[in-house]
Structure 1
Amino acid sequence: MPRLSLRQIAFLSCVFSVGSLTVLPATAHADDYTELLDILRAKGSLTHGEYNSLLAHHLRHSRSEASSNQDGTSSPPAKRNRYRRYNPTQYDGSLEPPDVTTIAAAQAARRAASEAAADARDTRSMLRQARASYDPDSVVRVKPYVAGKGVTVQAGQIEINLSGFVNGFYTYNSPGGGKPVAGGVSTGSSGFDSSSVRNGLLPGGLILKLNTVQDGIKLGAVFGMYPGLNNADVGAFNANSGGSPVGLGTAGVDFRQVYMTAGTDRLGTIKIGRDIALFASDAILNDATLLSVGSTGSNANPANTSLGRIGVGYVYTDWLPQITYISPKWHGLQGSVGIMTPLDPFNYAGGGLSATSTQHSSPMVQGKVTYDAKIAGFTTRLWASFLTQHVQNLTSSTLGTDSRKGATVAAGDVGVKLSRGPFEGVAYYYYGNGLGTTGLLFDGISQSGRKRNSEGYYVQASYKILPRLKLVGSYGVSNLYQAAGEDNPSLVRRNQSEVGALYYTLTDWMFLVGEYAHTESDAHGPNHESDHTMSAGAMITF
């Protein structure tokens, strides 16, 4: 029913009040109110619905009075249905307007709807204000976790990633006997079995990465801390020197990574700081013993890490201060080139067998090219890298301390990794002139200042015999040749090892390792030594 205004209700009340005071018999004045209603409608005081409602009520009341007057009795009023909907356009002569209760309910419903609409308007207004005041740089959120990729937090425009790993192995080493080899990596001549709880080729690691984009330039900073388990005994190799298994000792921290990056997808990236070098980096990163122990190097007094396959298949790439350019990737092809802090030639064999130097007028230069593609159904990575450095003022027992003699060291390598289904294979080869063996520039130059050639390789295969269980086997060799005119029978000629291991993935974070390694070292003379190593342990990566 259309709603009457207060003015209309008051006006009609007055009209009917006056009419009730002067009412005459209904039979004589039945049309008086009809005419009045017609007049009010014509003047616009009543709407069409209001007119029909009042007219229906008046006519019904008139018929009731007429019936009562004819038979002298009055009929009881019809029962009213307060919940019956009223539609004045469907008047049938018996329908009456709704009562006050129905009108009040309708008014209450209208008030509730009006309040709900007001609340909705307030909510929309608050939402607009929130959007206007929203500052994405002030929002901190955690990105979805990806196993092995660490925890990533987006703090406004800065992405913060924290990742790392922890490992530990029980390692038992049994010497196979023999005589010491100068520059060898086997411990077979020690004569005693040894046990230790130690790190593998990797120490522990905690790596913090920060990345952002400013003025269209991708910027990053990385801090990588690598603590060991065993007591440190700092020597020539710092935290990587042989440990000190005595009471009250503390572990060493190898702060390998401190660098920043800046670049774009189109122009490439510049890296400045300390990070893994380019030459031979893919060799160690694809070595299965990176996640286990391999050759121990020392087990009675464990260093921060074992050797893995360092010196028995490749020369350690090392972590060097550098300024390196990394190109964008183009159809799977990517190149890198950098200048790095030059290293001293080092007499690792001892006994004055190799020349040394501490003078550097030019940096070390390294470069690498990688190619990633799908070849014959295999996911394939091919790589090649190089290294060159000039060394000056070489000194030895033969050359003296002011020889003014120098040499240019050069090396190169190639490698391939193939993956398909449960199978994965790696093959690698390197060659160096003055490079040496085991470490960069270790025993690379003879007492006379002449460069020694070196080469090495390793092959590796792995197969998932079960979804969580992987079997790995590898073999590697590192050879060091004598310089022209040199005759040092105690100097190492070959280091080699065979490794077999089982890796069981327990969870996304944790895997278990059981491994056997056999390591041998041979001199240019008759000396030879070998050892056997059994290791079992676990690693967590996050």
Structure 2
Amino acid sequence: MNNKKLLVLAIAAGVTAQANAAVELYNEDGTTFSADGYFNAFYVNRDDNIADVRQSRVKMGFLPNTIGFNFSKEMGDLTLGGRSSFWTSINDSLDSPTDTSIDVRQFYATVDGSFGQVLIGKDFGLYSRNNIFLDEILMGFGSPGAPGGVSFGNIRTGYAYPTPTAQITYRSPDMGGLNIAAGILDPASTAGSDAYEEAPRFESEITYNMDLNGVALTAWVNGRYQTSKSDTTDTEVNSSAVGYGLKASVAGLTLAASGFNSDGDPPVLITNQAAALPEDNADGFLVQGAYQLGSNKLVLSYGETDSDIGDFETENTSIGLFHDINSNFKLVAEYNMFEQTTKSTGADAADADTIALGAIVMF
């Protein structure tokens, strides 16, 4: 699969619709089965200042259209569970008529008990997880994406994508607001197509939630580490990354700041590489403010990424208005300004202003 197609399929990220009120299909004798869905479409009008053209589209937002199924069964002191979710594009039919790309970002089982939870299967990674899941424009549009897929939100303009990967992950029980997750994930070949990895990729995330005199605070730090080697070229690539953030909410006002720093780790998404990656640095940050007044929420967002490994610098500014018709129906209006330059030459690679008007239905 070429990198462009991979990016189209993989870049759609975000909180799944299981966060909404799923429809319960079965609940008897300690066994439950439910379904959830997320559907959206945006009218998009983009002014491309590099090509000097204006383009109109009807596209998905940052989150693709999704349907998920959830299962749980009480077995003595344990609760066994599972989730599968299917993510689909609505923007590929003009390239492949009647065809629709469907991929699976989650297909896992869980075992819960007094010890916490163990997850086995495919799920989003832990590194950068809260950075993206707590993004205030998650249900918006954000920066431009691949023509046949979703937009990129703030991926590559403030955080990397927590690529869904096969994993075995442990999550602690809640310890007075402190939650710890750590796992081993299928490693990526970052030292070339013939690379091998003696150890899995290690990822972890620590989250702390607290209420400080009426101010709801969420703080987090996450990380990733792996080593990839090639006998053919005698190359070893050590990849490491750390993400972090803080979010505070009081009386309808939310302020958030997050960032990351990585070495030898792609600042967009991690994949197998045909050639060895350099152990270069990348870093970025995202700052946001949001104010909720009744059924309306206004969001201001600004993010940057500076990447030696990708040879680019980006910045992205979004202004979004979210209006809740009811708990299952949302309208979105967003104005986005995205710029990208090539670090080695200083040349402008992208300069686009986007108006996005969308509707979201979820259950």
Question: Is the TM-score greater than 0.5?
Answer: yes
- What residue number does 1:245 align with? 94
Task: Give the % identical residues.
Answer: 24
Runs (4+) of structure 1 exceeding 3 A deviation are: 355-358
Matches within 5 A, 1:121-520: 148-152=20-24, 153-177=26-50, 190-231=51-92, 245-246=94-95, 248-264=97-113, 266-298=114-146, 301-303=147-149, 305-345=150-190, 358-393=195-230, 402-440=232-270, 450-464=278-292, 466-481=293-308, 492-520=311-339
Which protein is richer in helix relative to its size? 1
SS in 1 for 2:138: helix
- Report the Cα distance in structure 2 between the residues aligned to 1:380 and 1:281, rounded to whole angstroms: 17
Conserved 8 A contact 1:492-1:521: no
CA RMSD of superposed structures (Å): 2.2
Evaluate the alpha carbon distance shift between residue 540 and residue 230 of structure 1 in structure 2; reply closer, same or farther with a 3 A threshold. same
- What residue number does 2:352 align with? 531
1:360 to partner: Cα distance = 2.4
- Normalised to the residue count of structure 1, the TM-score between the two structures is 0.60
* CA distances 1:73-100 after superposition (whole Å, capped 9, x unpaired): xxxxxxxxxxxxxxxxxxxxxxxxxxxx
- Report the Cα distance in structure 2 between the residues aligned to 1:285 and 1:357, rounded to whole angstroms: 34
* CA distances 1:242-262 after superposition (whole Å, capped 9, x unpaired): xx6246241111211100001
- Report the Cα distance in structure 2 between the residues aligned to 1:516 and 1:533, rounded to whole angstroms: 6
> What code does the residue aligned with 1:151 have?
V
* CA distances 1:208-228 after superposition (whole Å, capped 9, x unpaired): 111111121111011111112
- Report the Cα distance in structure 2 between the residues aligned to 1:228 and 1:151, rounded to whole angstroms: 23
Conserved 8 A contact 1:340-1:365: yes
Conserved 8 A contact 1:459-1:474: yes
SS in 2 for 1:282: helix
Matched residues, number? 343
Conserved 8 A contact 1:374-1:380: yes
1:288 to partner: Cα distance = 2.2
SS in 1 for 2:230: coil
Conserved 8 A contact 1:503-1:511: yes
Evaluate the alpha carbon distance shift between residue 357 and residue 193 of structure 1 in structure 2; reply closer, same or farther with a 3 A threshold. farther
Which protein is richer in strand relative to its size? 2
Please identify the structure whose Cα radius of gyration is greater: 1
* CA distances 1:425-453 after superposition (whole Å, capped 9, x unpaired): 2110111011132222699x997x64101
Conserved 8 A contact 1:380-1:419: yes
Q: Which runs of 5+ in 1 are unaligned?
A: 1-145, 178-189, 232-243, 347-354, 395-401, 483-490
- Report the Cα distance in structure 2 between the residues aligned to 1:147 and 1:493, rounded to whole angstroms: 34
* CA distances 1:45-69 after superposition (whole Å, capped 9, x unpaired): xxxxxxxxxxxxxxxxxxxxxxxxx
- Normalised to the residue count of structure 2, the TM-score between the two structures is 0.89
SS in 2 for 1:307: coil
- Report the Cα distance in structure 1 between the residues aligned to 2:80 and 2:351, rounded to whole angstroms: 49
